[in-house]
Amino acid sequence: MGSMFRSEEVSLVQLFLPTAAAYTCVSQLGERGLVEFRDLNASVSAFQRRFVGDVRRCEELEKTFTFLQEEVRRAGLALPPPEAGLPAPPPRDLLRVQEEAGRLAQELRDVRGNEQALRAQLHRLQLRAAVLGRGASLAATSSDGPSERTPLIQPPKGPHQDLRVNFVAGAVEPHKAAALERLLWRACRGFLIASFRETEQQLEDPATGEPATWMTFLISYWGEQIGQKIRKITDCFHCHVFPFEEQEEARRAALQQLQQQSLELREVLGESERFLSQVLGRVQRLLPPWQVQIRKMKAVYLALNQCSVSTTYKCLIAEAWCATRDLPAVQQALHDSSSEAGVSAVVHRIPSRDMPPTLVRTTRFTASFQAIVDAYGVGRYQEVNPAPYTIITFPFLFAVMFGDVGHGLLMFLFALAMVLAEDRPAVRAAKNEIWQTFFGGRYLLLLMGLFSVYTGCIYNECFSRATVLLPSGWSVAAMANQSGWSDDFLADHPLLSLDPNVTGVFLGPYPFGIDPIWSLAVNHLSFLNSFKMKMSVILGVTHMAFGVVLGVFNHMHFGEWHRLVLETLPELVFLLGLFGYLVFMVVYKWLRISAAGAAAAPSILIHFINMFLFARSPTNRPLFPGQEAVQSALVVLALATVPILLLGTPLFLRWSHRRHLRRTLQLQEEAKTGLLDSADASVAGWGSDEEKAGYPGDHEEAKFVLSEVFMHQAIHTIEFCLGCISNTASYLRLWALSLAHAQLSEVLWAMVMRIGLGMGREMGVAAVVLVPVFAAFAVLTVAILLVMEGLSAFLHALRLHWVEFQNKFYSGTGYKLNPFTFAVEDQ
C-alpha cells in the first residue's frame, strides 16, 4: 500500500546498460514495472533512432496478426486467452515468428483465394444448370406442338429467307431484371421475345456466402444486329450469359455434365474447408502468445529508443524515475538480467531540477477513493494526499444527503454482492460500461450504503417510515391526565399539542437519533428543517477547518515555515472567528436553552447579522453576558487577518530573496579569491556544486518577481475570504438534499403503497392487489430514489470535496508516475 497520506519518495536514477544485455535488462524492468523512462532523445526524430528498424518489423508483424485475427473471426471462431506471464522473446526469435506468421498468412490467402474461386465457379455452374433446366421445361411444354424452330408464318422469298431464330440465355440479379427487360424492348424495338423467371432455389453468393435469388432469362431474336445489341446490353448489366443448346438431347447431356462437375467441385470445396480449419486451428494456438510477446518486444524497443548511446563505454545510458524503496529491486533485476553478458548493469541516483512524479500505491479498497482525488488533479510531489480522509468523509457526506435505512441497505447489499464476486473471471470480463463503472467503485458503494444505514438510523427513517426500537421520550398519557382532555375537547380539537413543561410529558431525549413520535407531528418538517440546517453548518465548518489544518503538514514538509504564520494562522482565525463562532452559538443554544425557556430563546441568525453590523437588537436577548464585545472583537480580528494574508507572504519572500542575493555575491567573491590561491579548488568543489545543481535554489529565486507573487497572493486571499462565505452556504446542500430525499420517499409511499394497502381489506383481495403495487413501488424506489437520487447525492458530495475541502490545502498540479510495465500487454 505504501504511504497513503503522502506520495512516496521518487528518485531520478541513471542506468548504464551493456549493449549485449540492454534488451534483457529493459525486458526485466518491464516485467517488474518499477521505473518510468525519460526520453533522452527528444530532439531526435523517431525515424532516426537506433532501434527504429526493429520497431517497424514489430509493427509489420502486428499487421499480419491483425489479418490472421480477422480470418479467425470470419470463420466464426474465437481466440483463446493467452497464458499468463509470457516473457518478452529474445530478439533472435523475431525472425522465426515472422517466418511462421508469414507462412500462415500466405496459406490462408491461398486457401481463401482458391475457395472463393471454387465457389464462384460452382455458382456459375448452378446458374447455367438453372438456365438449362428452364430450357428443358420449355421444350417439354412444346413437344406436342410444332418444333421451336418451325416458324408460325412462312418467311417470304428473298434475301432474308436464310435467317433463323436465335437464343440468348443467362441470369441476372433480381433488382436489375426490370431495367434490363425495359431497355431490351426499347433498344430492339420489340423485335425479340424475352422471358424472365426466378430460380426455384436460392443460390449461395460466392462473395458474401448468403443465399440469394437470381432471375434467369431466355431471349429469342431474329437477325444478327439485334443479337449484337442484346449481347452488349447484357454485358452492361453484368449478366451471366451461357451458351444455349438448340437440341433437347444436347441440353440434357450438358445438364448431366454440369451436375457431375458440381459434385466434383463440392468435394474439392470440402477438402479446402478441412485444410482451412487445420490452418485456423494452428492460428488459434499460436496467435495469442505471439501477440503478447510481440507487443512486449515492441515496448522494449520503444523504451530502448529513449536511451542515449555511449560510444566510449559501449553501453546504453538511460534515465528513469523510480520509487526510492524499489531501488534495491531494480538493482537486483539488472544484475540478474546482465550477468550472462559478463558485464553488470549499473544504477545510481542523480540530482534533478524537475519536479518528480507522484506515486501513491493503492489496493482494491483504496483505488476508487484515490480515483476521486485524481479526477480533481494529481497531487504535487510529496503533497498531503486527501484520499485517506476521503475514505471516511465522502461516504459520510453522501449518507447525510441519502440517509435512509432501507435505501442504504439495498445499496450495501448490491455492493457486497460485487465484492464477494470480484474474483470471478466472468464478473471481471464483463464489457458493459455501466457495469464496469459500478464494479470499479464497489468498495465506495459499500461504504456509502453502510453510512446511509447509519444516518438513516439517526433520522429514524426506513423507506420514509419511522421505527420504534426504543421507548419514546414523550408521554401522551401524562399530558391527557394533567390537561383534562375530555371527549368534547377531543372532538373539537383534531390536533393536540404536547407541552414539555408539563410534568411527565417529556421524559428526556431519545437514546439514539430522532424520536419516532415526531413522524406523527404536523410540525415534523419544521423540526427537521431546523435540525438539518444547523447540522449542515456544523459539518461544513468542521470539514473546511480540517482542510486548512491539513495545509500545516504541507508547509512543514516543504520547509515553508513562514506560511504557517503568514497564511495558515490568519486563515484559521478568519474561518473560526466568524463561522466557528456561528457553530459555537448553535451548540451553546442547544446546551443552555431548556424547554422552559424555549419561547423566549434568542435568534442565532439575528445575532450573526448584528455581529457584522456592530449593532444590537433590543428584542433579541444575548446568549451569554458580554456577547456583543466578543462578537465585535472577533470581527475586528478577522478583518485584521486580511492584510496579513494579502501582504505577509510577498513581503517575506522579497526580504528572503534580497538576503539570498547578498549571500550569493559574498560566496562568489570568496570563490574568486580561492581560485587565485589554489588551482585545485575548482576540482574539489565540483562535486558539491553538482549536487547543488539538482535543487531549485539559485535559478528559481533569481527569477523572483514581486508583482507576480503579489498577484498570486491577492487571488488566493480573495478566493479564501469570499470562499469561506460561499463554501459555508454551499454545505447547506446537505440540508436541502436530505429533505428532498425524505420527501420523495414520503411521496412515493403515500402515492403507491398507502393506496395499495387501502384498496382491499380482505386477505385475498389485498394479496392480489399488493403484488403489482409492490412491484411498482420496488421499481420506482430503485429507479428514482436509488439511481437518480443516489447519483445526485454522489455529485454533490463530489463537489463538496473538490471545491470546499481540497482547495484549502491541495493544489493537484502534479503528474502520475507511469512505470514501464507489461501489465497492459498481458491483459
- Domain residue spans in the chain? 10-105+276-349, 114-140+164-271, 365-473+508-654+708-808
- The helix/strand/coil state of 377 is coil
More confident residue, 666 or 31: 31
Instruction: Tell me what pLDDT residue 701 has.
Output: 44
What is the rounded average pLDDT for all residues in the chain?
Answer: 85
Residue 80 has pLDDT above 90, yes or no: no
Q: What is the mean pLDDT of residues 285-310?
A: 92
- Residue 764's pLDDT band, with cuts at 50, 70 and 90, is low
| CA–CA dist 388, 397 (Å, integer) | 15
Separation of alpha carbons 325 and 308, rounded Å: 26
- C-alpha 127/C-alpha 723 separation (Å) is 82
Phi–psi pair at 172, nearest 5 degrees = -140, 155
Check residue 695 and give its pLDDT: 38
| 437 against 756, higher pLDDT | 437
C-alpha cell at 327: 531501488
Least confidently predicted of 96-105, 495-504, 636-645? 495-504
pLDDT for the residue 740: 92
More reliable by pLDDT, 692 or 465: 465
pLDDT at 697 over 50: no
Phi, psi for residue 161 in degrees, rounded to 5: -75, -20
Cα end-to-end span (Å), the chain: 22
What is the per-residue pLDDT for 216?
86
- Tell me: pLDDT of 459 over 60: yes
* pLDDT score recorded for residue 156: 52
Residue 101 reports pLDDT greater than 60: yes
Q: What is the pLDDT of residue 294?
A: 93
Q: Are 341 and 29 in contact (CB under 8 A)?
A: no
What confidence category does residue 498 fall into, taking pLDDT thresholds of 50, 70 and 90? confident
- Of 212-221, 236-245, 590-599, the poorest mean pLDDT is in 590-599
Q: Give tens-digit pLDDT for 718-749.
A: 999 999 999 999 999 999 999 999 999 999 98
3-state SS of 577-640 is HHHHHHHHHHHHHHHHCCCCCCCCCCCHHHHHHHHHHCCCCCCCCCCCCCHHHHHHHHHHHHHH
- The whole-angstrom separation of Cα 602 and Cα 388 is 40
pLDDT for position 565: 92
Q: What is the pLDDT of residue 545?
A: 95
152 pLDDT above the threshold of 70: no
**At 412, which amino acid appears?**
F
> pLDDT band at residue 681, thresholds of 50, 70 and 90?
very low
Split at pLDDT 50, 70, 90, the class of 674 is low
Nearest to 319 by CA among 724, 38, 708: 38
| Residue 419 pLDDT class (50, 70, 90 cuts) | very high
Dist CA 125 CA 135 (whole Å): 15
Return the top range by mean pLDDT from 25-34, 75-84, 758-767. 25-34
- pLDDT confidence tier of residue 224, bands split at 50, 70 and 90: confident
Full-model pTM: 0.79
Residue appearing with cell numbers 483465394:
113
pLDDT at res. 137: 54
Which sign does the torsion angle of CA 363, 369, 373, 376 carry? positive
Of the chain, the percentage scoring pLDDT greater than 90 comes to: 42
Mean pLDDT confidence for 494-521: 83
Residues 494-503: what's their mean pLDDT?
78
| Residues present in the chain in total | 827
Q: Would you say 646 and 713 are in contact if contact means Cβ atoms under 8 Å apart?
A: yes
Q: Give residue 433's pLDDT band: very low, low, confident or very high (50, 70, 90).
A: confident
Residue % of the chain over a pLDDT of 70: 90
φ/ψ of 461, rounded to 5, equals -135, 130
Quick one: average pLDDT of 400-409? 94
Of 99-103, 218-222, 597-601, 673-677, highest mean pLDDT: 99-103
pLDDT of residue 767: 67
pLDDT value of residue 687 = 35
Please tell me the predicted confidence (pLDDT) of residue 141: 43
Tell whether the model's pLDDT for residue 226 goes beyond 60: yes
Please say if the pLDDT value at position 447 is more than 50: yes
Rg, the chain, Cα only: 44
Average pLDDT score over residue span 498-510: 80
**Rounded distance between C-alpha atoms, residue 475 and residue 462, angstroms:** 24
Q: Tell me, what's the pLDDT at 699?
A: 43
pLDDT (0 to 100) of residue 546? 96
**Is the pLDDT assigned to residue 40 strictly greater than 50?**
yes
For the cut 50, the answer to whether the pLDDT of residue 696 exceeds it is no
Q: 10 Å Cβ neighbour count for 765?
A: 11
**CATH code at 114-140+164-271:** 3.30.70.2750
DSSP 3-state of 158: coil
- Which residue's C-alpha cell is 531540477? 353
- Residue 194: exposure state from Cβ atoms within 10 A (0-12, 13-18, ≥19): middle
Q: What is the pLDDT of residue 163?
A: 57
Confidence tier at 79 by pLDDT (50, 70, 90)? confident
CB 541 within 8 A of CB 728: yes
Quick one: pLDDT at residue 763? 54
Q: Is the pLDDT of residue 254 over 60?
A: yes
